[in-house]
Chains A and B, each alone.
Chain A
Amino acid sequence: MGDKVPVLKQGPYLIASIQTALTDAGWLEFQDDLLSRVGRFRSRGVIIDMTLLDVLDSFSTRTVRALAQSLKLRGAETVIVGIQPEVAMAMVQLGLVGRFEEINTGLDLEEGLAGLDKLTGEGMAQDVG
């Protein structure tokens, strides 16, 4: 698949930056990949950066929610960052926001790291800044 999402390891956290529109199969592959990496690296938190995504439809929203919930069961917190203003508005119109209610979100990577520090009690944000 050409959809591979690059994942960086940053101390106890993983940072996944989605670079291009994913197909449904691409989303599922990304989900499996992150779930296995969190175990391999014993990660405490995950940031999923969606800055470059121009559409979040019902399938991707549902997959991201399921992914965040599954990561939690694997012992890692998740913060979604970078949802663009237009994408946020379209999600509201589509009626998808309820699905994100229990999901942690932040404006950008910086907020994502700070959010994970708070959720996990780790201290990456200070080290990075």
Chain B
Amino acid sequence: MSDKDRIRIETDADIVNARQRGREMAAGLGFSSADLTMIATAISELARNIVEYARTGEIAVKLVSRNSNKGVAIIAHDDGPGISNIDQAMRDGFSTGDGLGLGLPGVRRLMDEFEITSEIGKGTTVAVKKWRQ
């Protein structure tokens, strides 16, 4: 299996496809079942943000290593409207009354590393990593 996979995100079926492919790649590294579920759930939320807010984008799943540690990196990128207030988007309960939100604080809790860059009118990139325990 390749150590990198790019998945185009456009429809709700792509959300399921992305998280299943991400899980498969991470499973090859020997992650625990609990970690695989967290990785798949994080991919699902990141892909969902793309479909809901940017309409189209891409998720790249990469196997990474640092010293002797192995892990998986997920990079969600879109050319959508961007996030005007990232601090606010990173707070739990931000956004609508039905408690939908962007799910970003949750994604950060599911993963070990979290980086976000966003520019209004240009798009958003969220890069997260999970290291094998």
Contact = CB atoms under 8 A, between A and B. Distances in A.
A18 B15 CA distance: 18
The SS class assigned to the A binding surface is helix
Q: Which of A57, A89, A91, A96 has the most CB of B within 10 A?
A: A57
Interface residues of B, number: 28
A98 B98 CA distance: 12
B34 interface: yes
Contact of A59 (B20, B34, B48, B99): B48
Contacts of A59: 48
A21 B38 CA distance: 16
Given A23-B15, A57-B45, A90-B110, 15 more contacts: A55-B40, A56-B41, A57-B41, A57-B103, A58-B103, A58-B106, A86-B38, A87-B37, A89-B37, A93-B41, A93-B109, A94-B41, A94-B45, A94-B103, A94-B109
